[in-house]
Chain A
Amino acid sequence: MVTIALAGNPNSGKTTLFNGLTGSRQHVGNWAGVTVERRSGFVELEDETFEVVDLPGTYSLSAQSEDERIASGFLAGGDVDLIINVLDASNLERNLYLTTQLLELHRPIVFVLNMMDDAERQGVSIDLEGLQVLLGGPVIPTVGNREEGLDALKTALIGVSRGLDPRIRAIPVHYGDDIENELSKLEREILRDERLAGSHVPRWLALQLIERSPEAMALLLESHAQSAIASQLKATLAFLEAHLGADGGTLLAEHRYGFAHGLVTEVLQRGHSTQRSHTDRIDALLTHRWLGIPIFLAILIAVYSLTFLVGKYPQDWIGAGFGWLQRQAGTLLPPGELTSLLADGIIPGVGAVVVFVPIIMLLMGCIAFLEDTGYMARAAFIMDRLMHLMGLHGKSFIPLIMGTGCNVPGVQATRTIEAKEDRFITILVSPLVSCSARLQVYILIAGTFFKPVPAAFAIIGMHFLGFALAMIMGKLLRLTLFRGADTPFVMELPPYRMPVLKATLIHMWEKGSVFLSRAGTVILAGATLVWFLSHYPGITRRDWTTEHLSSRATVTAMALPSAEQALRLAELDLAYESRIMNTSFAARFGRLLQPVLAPILDPDHTRAEAWKDGVALTAGFVAKEIVVGTLAVVHQASAEPADPKARISPLQDALRRRSGLTPLTALAFMVFTLIYTPCLGTIGMILKETRSLPWTLFTVLYGLGLAWLLAWGTVALGRLAGFA
């Protein structure tokens, strides 16, 4: 089998080529660095199997960013037989910088000159024959998103892999006599360690050492010739600094661009293109001084509506479908533990996972579409000033805004943020943004304890508080845990291109299915655990079940009018559920929590039912809207008004009369609900996106701490101001 590494700059159309070659499902993006993961596909050419590995798009192999480390590590390792270097013909000189580094690897390279149509439109013509000679490998012209030139590429791959292509030649980049001299001295020292010289091209390693790449430095530490190489390196760097007046990295970069520039001068003819490019014309509008932000906001509103308003329909259908299943399981199966596990544990648990899929697919589809057009870079460009003030990146804006609909796709949308530190900070603060699930809790609580106008203010206030906290935490994280890691905002604004619908659809499907398989398992496990905690040991009490069934039978035997019968039966069911819930492990846990929650929810220790808050909040760990349902069960009062004309539901009535919450502690309850721990879905997503259990736990714990602190502050300040 022949292993091919696909290397190229971001936005060079590398991923489209990968899709074309392997037919695999792979996203095509216009953002720098979408493919953080290494992905591969297979292609059969004349009885030979080629494995194509799509490397992250990088501007160089200096191993500075995560993406560059991945690409450079894979290329320098021994697995690569052949490299395909994708070059953007409309931006050749900068693309050739990476090529100069690839040439050092001493592997056969097939060059793909992509975006030929863009180049032609700019009036650029390229001498392909000349380029082949100067680069020492076949050069295949291809066109953007169409699959043109693929057959020629496949033919070239076969020839090169069999060593039959006469165009393959080793092309050294000449760094000037002084540097070359130092390079050979370093190579000589490297050759002392046969194992090192066997696994890495000595010249490549010498260059990496001069650039002080962390990877090369790590290799050096493992070598038994470490001291010889290190002392030569020290002498080399000192010599270069003294004689050429610059550090090694700068000198190499200058020579690489010198090579690229010389090559471009040789093979590229620039015609007179008087017409402004279409990208310039589009940008004149989209990043316009006054119109840029309104247009951005309009696009944002469109994406938001499409995701959460359109997405609500499939969500409702899914919700209704699982509700029906749950009722069927509850009525058809005999009551007992297994039925409850199925009807109250697994079915709603699976439902809680599946219900996210439509909005995830819609939002990720919109984002992929915007990325593919090139607009996402402009969105970051427009919003960076604001976000940078808060320790965040321009690209953090869209994920945070989308979080107001649901934090789960909001966290996933951070994918577009290139630099790991920026992405992590955004992920860690995004649960603070108040989502639509929390809104249901606010509506219940504010509607119970406040008059309509203050209630509306309280609800809006929660949303502002969430945003403000996200900003403050972002700044704090930047100043503490992610200090010194302020990544440069040196960002390419790629040309606008028409996205390929197929690629967007593939991307949506991929995001949906990856969510189900990765985050879904976490959510389902968590939901089942909470079911267990809130149903045991009461669910095992046969006598309770028998009692409940006989009361139901009595009511049914009374032959009441059907509406009244349904009401009576619902009351009985609720009573039975309450009985189980209020004796469950979760209730015991809620009681344990009582001393912790007392300062914020029961400051005077007068509330007999304060433990019920703890139960509801514990259950709300699964999803914040479950707080409402659980309050209904623990207080044994329906959250739905029995009489449609009633202003408040029985639950609100019960909360007002019996719970002992005051308007002030109710507000503290809202603040606590806003901040305490991300819901299970968000936790699953955070775990999937950070791949770090410590950071996921950190998000949960700081949320709990911050929630307590702010809720306590609410009560303390409120009391100072004279509220009860």
Chain B
Amino acid sequence: MSHFQQIQLSDLAPGQEATVLQVKAQGPIRRRLLEMGFIERENRISRSIRVVLAPLGDPMELVIKGYHLSLRREEGACILVSRLEPTRV
């Protein structure tokens, strides 16, 4: 059901769900992302549909392992995901 297309987490559109493929970040950010649940190949995350995009547009809010998390887009860009079927909004 997933078309195995790698995109950056930050490019995910509001309301879409995705699976984590790879965390490219290194060092402390990588560690922190792993601890917060960005485990490769395991997870289903969904970017929340309630993201504050404007006027500031950054950071982004998403739901992972059932809780809400916010990330800066530059951090989201370090995470490669594959899109799942869009969920009903």
Contacts and interface: CB of A to CB of B under 8 A. Distances in A.
Interface of A: 59-60, 62, 64, 90-91, 93-94, 97, 211, 249-250, 253-254, 257-258, 261, 279-280, 283-284, 287-290, 292-293, 377, 381-386, 388, 394, 487-495
16 contacts: A59-B32, A64-B31, A93-B66, A94-B36, A250-B40, A254-B39, A280-B50, A288-B52, A381-B70, A384-B58, A385-B59, A388-B72, A488-B28, A488-B33, A489-B75, A492-B70
B13 interface: no
A490 B29 contact: yes
Contact of A388 (B33, B50, B58): B58
Interface in B41-88: 42, 50, 52-59, 61, 65-72, 75
Contact of B28 (A64, A97, A386, A491): A64
Nearest to B69: A492
A495 B58 CA distance: 20
B29 A488 contact: yes
B36 A490 contact: yes
Contacts of B39: 253-254, 257
A452 B65 CA distance: 60
B35 A60 contact: yes
Given A93-B65, A385-B59, A488 B75 contact: yes
A122 B7 CA distance: 31
A279 B40 CA distance: 28
Contacts of B42: 254, 257-258, 261
Contacts of B66: 90-91, 93-94
A489 B72 contact: yes
Contacts of B53: 289
Given A60-B35, A253-B35, A490-B70, 18 more contacts: A59-B36, A94-B37, A250-B34, A253-B34, A253-B39, A254-B34, A254-B42, A257-B39, A284-B50, A287-B61, A381-B52, A381-B59, A384-B59, A385-B56, A385-B59, A388-B58, A394-B59, A488-B29
Contacts of A494: 68
B50 A249 contact: no
Given A381-B52, A382-B56, A490 B31 contact: no
Nearest to B37: A94
Contact of B34 (A93, A249, A394, A489): A249
A257 to B, nearest CB: 5
A533 to B, nearest CB: 48
Contacts of A492: 36, 67-70
A288 B53 CA distance: 9
Contact of B59 (A257, A280, A283, A489): A489
Q: Give the 7 A-B residue pairs with the shortest CB-CB distance, closest first.
A: A385-B56, A253-B34, A493-B68, A385-B58, A60-B35, A488-B29, A489-B72
Contact of B67 (A62, A94, A258): A94
Contacts of A290: 54
Nearest to A91: B67
A331 B75 CA distance: 67
A383 B65 CA distance: 25
A381 B31 CA distance: 21
Interface of B: 23, 28-37, 39-40, 42, 50, 52-59, 61, 65-72, 75
A627 B70 CA distance: 46
B64 to A, nearest CB: 8
Nearest to A384: B59
Given A287-B61, A289-B53, A293-B55, A249 B69 contact: no
Contact of B32 (A64, A289, A386): A64
A368 B73 CA distance: 29
Contacts of B61: 287, 381, 493
Contacts of A93: 37, 65-66
Nearest to A250: B34
B52 A491 contact: no
B32 A488 contact: yes
A460 B65 CA distance: 48
A495 B71 CA distance: 17
B19 to A, nearest CB: 14
Contact of A490 (B50, B58, B67, B69): B69
Contact of B35 (A62, A283, A293): A62
A490 B75 contact: yes
Contacts of A257: 37, 39, 42
A279 B72 CA distance: 21
A490 B56 contact: no
A221 B75 CA distance: 34
Contacts of B33: 488, 490
Contacts of B29: 488, 490
Contacts of A90: 66
A464 to B, nearest CB: 21
B49 to A, nearest CB: 9
A388 B40 CA distance: 28
Query: Looking at A279, A287, A382, which has the most chain B CB atoms within 10 Å of its CB?
Result: A287
B78 to A, nearest CB: 10
A274 B10 CA distance: 28
Contacts of A490: 29, 32-33, 36, 69-71, 75
Contacts of B34: 249-250, 253-254
Contacts of A385: 56-59
B38 to A, nearest CB: 9
Nearest to A380: B70
Contacts of B30: 249-250
Nearest to A382: B52
Contact of B50 (A59, A283, A386, A488): A283
Contacts of B67: 91, 94, 492
A201 B36 CA distance: 26
Query: Looking at B36, B50, B53, B67, which has the most chain A CB atoms within 10 Å of its CB?
Result: B67
Contacts of A384: 56, 58-59, 70, 72
B41 to A, nearest CB: 9
A261 B30 CA distance: 20
A279 B66 CA distance: 13
Contacts of A249: 30-31, 34
Contacts of B35: 59-60, 62, 97, 253
A416 to B, nearest CB: 15
B34 to A, nearest CB: 4
Contacts of B75: 488-490
A284 B50 CA distance: 6
Contacts of A91: 65-67
Contacts of A280: 50
